[in-house]
Chains A and B, each alone.
Chain A
Amino acid sequence: MLTLGLGVAIVLLGGGAGVFVIVQDSMLAQLQSELEARAEGLASQAVFDDDLLEFEFAKGSGAELIEEGYFEFRRFNGDLLWRSEGLEGMTLPMRTPAMGEMEFGDVDLPEDEDGRCVWVALEPRVEPDSGDEDDEEEEDDEVELPEGAIELTVFEPILLAVAVEREPMDEAIGTVLSALIVIGALAAGLGALLVYFGVRWGLRPLDTLAAQLHGVDEKSLSTHPDGSGAPLELAPVYRELGRMLSRVEATIERERSFSNAAAHELRTPLAEIRATAEVAHKWPDDERGRRALDEILAVCDELESLVESLLLISRAQKGETQGVTAAGAAKAIIAERLEKAGDVIRSKGLSVRVDIDETSPIGAPSEALEIIARNLIDNAVRYSPEGGSVTISTRAGLNGAQSFVVENGPTSLNAADVDRLFEPFWQADEARADRRHVGLGLTIVRQVAAAAGLSVRTALDGATLRIAVAPIG
């Protein structure tokens, strides 16, 4: 609003100044036009006749010019040839314009009046000889020269300076200026009011939008702001706000579901601890007590593992987002996981194949790759049946960085199961009896991958499950 007001003020000020300048220039031009006319009129009065410069106005015609006007005729050397009585003996400044040119300037006039003056260089009109009788008549008309003036008996260019009072023009300009100031002030005041109320009115839809958004909380995210009465210009804003609220609602719902699922998963181990401890407490004996304590310790291990997984998911969201891992380093990570899973691999008789292209790096930061590889390999080993197979490989990807692929089979998962693999706490039925694993491993993989700018794709190729992690391209 301030900017708009300032802009309007500048426009008004500039406009007013422009009008003033135009008016002033126009009036000055008009004045100077008047001066030109006077100068031309006076110039025509200068006649060189019989070797003498004469001024016809001195002989009777143009008497008012002599009395009321302000003018001087001079030689180029400054000698005064004629001065009007109106000047009351004052001398006008001297300027020497080129022949046929006019110069304008401000001058002081008698009685402290301001004047506008024009200087002209001219050649007197030459009167042709008209016979002896005319000469005799002219000799009889002797003119009294003004004080200080001389007669000019040589034909030469002379200077004419004509001035008029500026006061009428200045008064008119002052009136225009006053009017502009008053009008400008009124316009500015009115404009300010118009700007204020106009902007307030124009911003009303934003106030409406702000009020609607103020009422939105986590319980009412599905209630999107109503833009039905809003100006068309705000339609994209309403639309994008609605989309943003939907995204926020989906995020909060995901977080809520995750929290609910986490709480649910925590409750069962707590129920196990409680039931085991209560029964042992009610019917105590050493053997039952020892068994109960063993079970409780095992549940505590599972709870610790669950908590670590939850914390890992939280940390993954702040993880390193760029980088690659050298193929050699990746092979070391894989070898370490396979060694840790060695007992399970051997007991199940799984065949494990590792096929890493050592010429290119893997397109994932090393910390992320370690977590991803750990969870994918652990999952593949755990959920492969006896005699099954696990393959860990890399595939050529974008920009020379490889994707990381883990396959295992045969699996009893179906297409619907594959779609749910990454849901927090989801497990295939046969996996659920093993409370050591709560179904967060692949959720962790997805979270870590997302934080590192990686994509995770799953595919069911017959009875073989393939999970590939690659840079997003």
Chain B
Amino acid sequence: MHLLLVEDSRRLRDSLSEGLSRSGYAVDIAADGEEGLRAARSNAYDVIVLDIMLPKMDGLAVLQRLRESGDQSHVLLLTAKGELEDRVAGLRVGADDYLTKPFAFDELVARIEALIRRRYATKNPMIGVGPLSIDTASRRVMRGEDVIELTKKEYALLEYLALRKGEAVRRVAIEDHLYSEHDFPMSNAVDRLVCALRKKIETEDAAPLLVTQRGYGYKLDDPAE
């Protein structure tokens, strides 16, 4: 999944972006409100993690501009201001969630996951696709009782396609959701990733789960449905 992290504190920005990247997210970063607004308007992010106290334009102003332009990105506000009126103000401007500093990294990740599920209209952290069980909370994939070991990118691809189960997803959309602005994937990176994922999740004696939509993209679906 593709995240935008807008935070002026260098240390916090670096730590969170590294942690989120290692958690399997593609993370773009911005250090002030104007840069954050530009990035949010340029890309489709699954979740925007937005600090409120930002230079040049504060987080609430950024959020307000996004909502006024019709942007429906899910936004999680980060701030040191934890008073009730501050939380209410943030939510009323259009935030989807609010986290007060200091916070546990695991809680940040859990809230991001919840927003992603909401984005893809599912409340269940467990996604079933044919014989596969994908636990989005623990990032574990099972076929029956067997755990399937996936790389971070493979899991990210599987999760993204599973959340859009039954939909044909464009290749460029997959690329946007898997790679950050700092990544420079090769032109066939998505294809190679799909190929690698297929080898792990599909078996020779079963119908394929990951189907190529020639000239368009890919679709993950349960062949029995």
B92 contact set on A, CB distance < 8 A: none
Residues of A close to B101: CB separation below 8 A: 267-268, 270-271
Count of A interface residues, CB-CB < 8 Å: 25
**A167 interface hit (Cβ, 8 Å):** no
A239, CB-defined interface residue at 8 Å: no
A and B contact pairs by CB, cutoff 8 A, 14 listed: A265-B80, A268-B101, A271-B102, A272-B9, A274-B102, A274-B104, A275-B16, A282-B105, A283-B18, A283-B19, A299-B11, A429-B32, A433-B55, A435-B11
A247-278 interface code vs B (CB 8 A; 1 in, 0 out)? 00000000000001001110110111111101
Q: How far is the CA of A275 from the CA of B12 in the complex (A)?
A: 7
- A267, B80: Cβ atoms closer than 8 Å: yes
Q: Kindly identify, within residues 86 to 115 of chain B, every residue whose CB is under 8 Å from any CB belonging to chain A.
A: 100-106
Q: Apart from A276-B15, A279-B22, what 6 extra A-B contacts exist at CB < 8 Å?
A: A260-B83, A263-B80, A276-B11, A282-B19, A429-B56, A433-B31
Q: Which of A267, A278, A295, A432 interacts with B100 by CB under 8 Å?
A: A267
Residues of A within 8 A of B83 (CB): 260
Which A residues are within 8 Å of any B CB, using their own CB? Answer: 260, 263-265, 267-268, 270-276, 278-279, 282-283, 292, 295, 299, 429-430, 432-433, 435
Tell whether A279 pairs with B102 under 8 Å between CB atoms, given A299-B11, A435-B11: no
Taking the closest CB of chain B, its distance from the CB of A461, in whole angstroms, is: 26
Contact A274 B22 (CB under 8 A): no
Which residues of the partner chain B approach A267 to less than 8 Å between Cβ atoms?
Answer: 80, 82, 100-102
B81 within 8 Å of A by Cβ? yes
Number of interface residues of B (CB under 8 A): 26
User: Which has the most chain A C-beta neighbours within 10 Å: B12, B32, B103?
Assistant: B12
Q: Which of A263, A265, A432 gathers the greatest number of chain B CB atoms within 10 Å? A: A432
Task: Say yes or no: B105 contacts A433, CB within 8 Å.
Answer: no
B10 within 8 A of partner (CB) = yes
Interface centre among B9, B56, B106 (most CB of A within 10 A): B9
Minimum distance in angstroms from A121 CB to a CB of chain B: 107
Task: State which of B32, B80, B104, B105 has its C-beta within 8 Å of the C-beta of A264.
Answer: B80
Interface of A, secondary structure class, is helix
Complex Cα gap A430–B56 (Å): 8
User: Number of residue pairs across A and B with beta carbons under 8 Å?
Assistant: 76
Q: Can you name the residue of chain A whose Cβ is closest to the Cβ of B31?
A: A433
Q: Could you tell me if A271 and B103 are in contact, using CB atoms closer than 8 angstroms?
A: yes
Contacts of A270 in B (CB 8 A): 101-102
The reply to whether A275 and B105 form a contact with Cβ atoms under 8 Å apart is yes
Are B11's CB and A295's CB within 8 A? Answer: yes
Complex interface: chain B residues within 8 A of A429 (CB): 32, 55-56
Q: CA of A278 to CA of B101 in the docked complex: distance in angstroms?
A: 14
Contact residues in B for A432 (Cβ distance below 8 Å): 8, 55
The distance from the CB of B48 to the nearest CB of chain A, in whole angstroms, is 18
Residues of A within 8 A of B104 (CB): 274, 278
Q: Across the interface, do A279 and B55 meet the contact criterion of CB distance under 8 Å?
A: no
Query: What residues of chain A lie closer than 8 Å to B15, measured between beta carbons?
Result: 272, 275-276, 278-279, 292, 295
From B8, B18, B81, A279 is in contact (CB under 8 Å) with B18
Known A430-B55, A433-B31: A279·B105 in contact at CB below 8 Å: yes
Q: Which residue of A lies closest to B106 (CB)?
A: A278
B103: nearest residue on chain A (CB-CB)? A271
Q: Give chain B residues whose Cβ lies under 8 Å from the Cβ of A264.
A: 53, 80-81
Complex Cα spacing A73 to B205, Å: 169
Q: In the assembled complex, which residues on chain A have CB atoms less than 8 Å from the CB atom of B53?
A: 264
**Pick the contact of A272 from B11, B18, B32 — CB < 8 Å?**
B11
Q: Complex: how many Å from CA A274 to CA B56? A: 26
Question: Nearest residue in A to B32 (C-beta to C-beta)?
Answer: A429
Q: How far does the alpha carbon of A435 sit from the alpha carbon of B53 in the complex, in Å? A: 13
Task: Provide the bound-state CA to CA distance between A267 and B52, in Å.
Answer: 13
CA distance A181 to B18 in the complex (A): 102
Q: How far is the CA of A159 from the CA of B52 in the complex (A)?
A: 120
When the two chains form their complex, are residues B105 and A278 in contact, meaning their CB atoms are under 8 A apart? yes
- Whole-angstrom CA separation of A272 from B103 in the bound complex: 10
Interface centre among A271, A292, A429, A435 (most CB of B within 10 A): A271
Pair B11/A279 contact, Cβ less than 8 Å: no
Give Cα A282 to B80, complex, Å: 24
Q: How far is the CA of A165 from the CA of B82 in the complex (A)?
A: 102
A-contacting residues, B19-76, CB 8 Å = 19, 22, 31-32, 53, 55-56
Distance of A279 Cα from B23 Cα, bound (Å):
10
| CB-based closest 4 A-B pairs | A267-B80, A271-B101, A429-B55, A275-B15
**Cα of A443 to Cα of B53 in the assembled complex, Å:** 20
Question: Within the assembled complex, what's the spacing in Å between the Cα atoms of A278 and B32?
Answer: 24
CA separation between A416 and B97, bound complex, in Å? 33
Complex contacts, B32 vs chain A, CB 8 Å: 429
**Nearest-CB distance from B192 to chain A (Å)?**
25
| Chain A residues whose CB sits within 8 angstroms of the CB of B10 once the complex forms | 433, 435
Q: Which of B16, B31, B102 has the most A CB atoms < 10 Å from its CB?
A: B102
CB neighbours of B102 from chain A (8 A): 267, 270-271, 273-275
Please give, as numbers and ranges, the residues of chain A lying within 8 Å of B8 by CB-CB distance.
Answer: 432-433
- Complex alpha-carbon distance, A273 and B56, angstroms: 25
**Smallest distance from the beta carbon of A427 to chain B beta carbons, Å?**
9
Give the CA-CA distance A130 to B87 in the complex, in Å: 136
Q: Cα distance A437–B18 when bound, in Å? A: 25
**Docked complex Cα distance between A225 and B60 (Å):** 39
Bound complex: CA A264 to CA B102 (Å) = 10
Contact partners of B22 in chain A: CB under 8 A: 279, 282-283
Partner of A271, one of B18, B31, B56, B80: B80
Alpha-carbon distance A214/B16, docked complex (angstroms): 51
Contact B31 A275, beta carbon cutoff 8 Å: no
Measured in the bound complex, the distance between the Cα atoms of B11 and A275 in whole Å is 9
- Closest chain-A Cβ to B59's Cβ sits at a distance in Å of 13
